[in-house]
């Protein structure tokens, strides 16, 4: 969901199939950090630019987070 569709402390993610959800994500409790508030549109190019920013690298190192799925 995005914008007003996000209610309270719940965040929905889109996957093509239910199988994809459980293979890659499932249902989890976790901490979410908003690193940039956007317009609701996000491209692969946007993701690449964001992932290359030095501030994101520092954030990952401090939190022990790997956003590349490795």
CA-to-CA distance for 32 and 6, rounded, in angstroms? 13
Give the DSSP H or E segment for 58.
Answer: helix 54-63
**Residue 54 domain-assigned (yes or no):** yes
Measured on CA atoms in the order 13, 5, 9, 32, is the torsion positive or negative?
A: positive
Radius of gyration of the chain (CA): 14
**Residue 70 domain-assigned (yes or no):** no
Nearest to 69, CA basis, from 30, 24, 27, 35: 24
pLDDT of residue 2 exceeding 50:
yes
For position 51, what pLDDT does the model report?
A: 77
Q: What is the pTM of this model?
A: 0.34
Which residue segment(s) compose the domain that 37 sits in?
A: 3-63
Number of domains the chain contains: 1
Using one digit for the tens of pLDDT, what is the confidence trace for 5-61? Answer: 666 776 666 777 878 877 877 677 778 777 777 777 878 888 788 778 777 777 667
């Amino acid at each position: 969901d995005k914008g007003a569709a996000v209610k309270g402390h719940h965040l929905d993610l889109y996957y093509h199939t239910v199988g994809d959800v459980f293979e890659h994500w499932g249902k989890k409790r976790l901490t979410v950090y908003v690193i940039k508030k956007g317009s609701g549109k996000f491209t692969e190019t946007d993701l690449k630019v964001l992932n290359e920013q030095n501030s994101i690298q520092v954030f990952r190192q401090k939190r022990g987070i790997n956003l590349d799925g490795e």
